[in-house]
Amino acid sequence: MKRIIILILFLLLSLLSCSPIDTAIQQGQPVYIYPLYSWNGTAWQQVGFGSSNFTTETDPIYTLASGNIVTLAGTQELDNKTVDAAVLKGTFTASGVVSWPAFTQTGNIKTNNNYFDAEANGFYFTNTGNEKGIQFYNVNNSDRGGRFYFLHNSSSPATNDWVGYFEQNGKKTNGTEYNAALTITKVIDITAGSEDTAIYYYLVSGGSQNLAMYLEGDGTLYLDVGTSIFDDKDDAMVLKKAISLGDKTELLSMKILTPKIDKNGNIVKDEYMMSQKDIIRLLAGAAYQNRDKIDALEKRISELEARLK
């Protein structure tokens, strides 16, 4: 009975020695928390807290660990902890490597003039939408839009280097991947002050990749005309007549014109594309066909020049 009375008096004295908790806590205002006591077998021992000023996000955080009340500093590292439904505030820095799992973005990511560094790996984007992909929006109001910037940052640049290239790949009917189109920017001459470059266009023909054309820096365009350079048929006059009369049927038959097809595979009515490959072949053939007449004309000119002497 005596112990109970002493305990009650002790608790009353403890309550009188503490200020009541202010329910309207203000930033920077001291908060007094009732002390807690435990009996250690011989005497009462205070555990818990005295007071703390809650001023910023870095103030001490109170939690329970192993059944005891402990104080964690605001800069305490949390190892192997799960943070559920938390709100991130302020500026965060990282030491070491931070690995992000899959996450759903609900806002913009600002790089702050930094890079996405994939190191020796590729940087991949995936999507499941039809005609969807990477889109760049330039919202600057100046007279220049956005740009793609490629830098071949080689420490030993050389002739025939690939400065950059675009690939467009697809799937075959057997499920294997193939390169449908390839555009390469190649160095023709790396000499400082007199560099020359060319763009090569590779497409697929007959199941194999083929260099369809390439354009050099001086404006020279080279087309693949195949192995049949000359047309040995006597169609030079037919070509001339068809062009002069605008005979589209004949020009289509001669493959000079081909129907224009839109991106969806539909033929555009009364619009055509011109086959440079076939017209070059026909023009070369016309010169070949008339070679004997040219030779005869040159012979007659020589004879006339000899008579005038």
How open is the CA angle 48-49-54, to the nearest 5 degrees? 140
pTM metric for this prediction = 0.57
Domain edges within the chain: 2-72, 93-224, 236-308
Instruction: Answer yes or no: are the C-beta atoms of 265 and 280 closer than 8 Å.
Output: no
Packing angle, helices 276-289 and 291-308, rounded to 10: 50
CA 72, CA 75: separation in Å to the nearest integer?
8
In order along its 309 residues, the chain shows pLDDT tens digits of 566 666 666 665 555 555 444 445 454 455 545 555 666 667 666 655 444 444 444 444 444 444 444 455 556 667 777 778 888 787 877 777 888 888 888 888 888 888 888 888 888 888 888 988 888 888 888 888 888 888 899 999 999 999 999 999 999 999 999 999 999 999 999 999 999 999 999 999 889 999 988 999 988 888 876 655 555 555 667 777 887 888 888 888 877 788 888 777 788 888 888 777 777 777 766 666 666 777 777 788 887 777 776
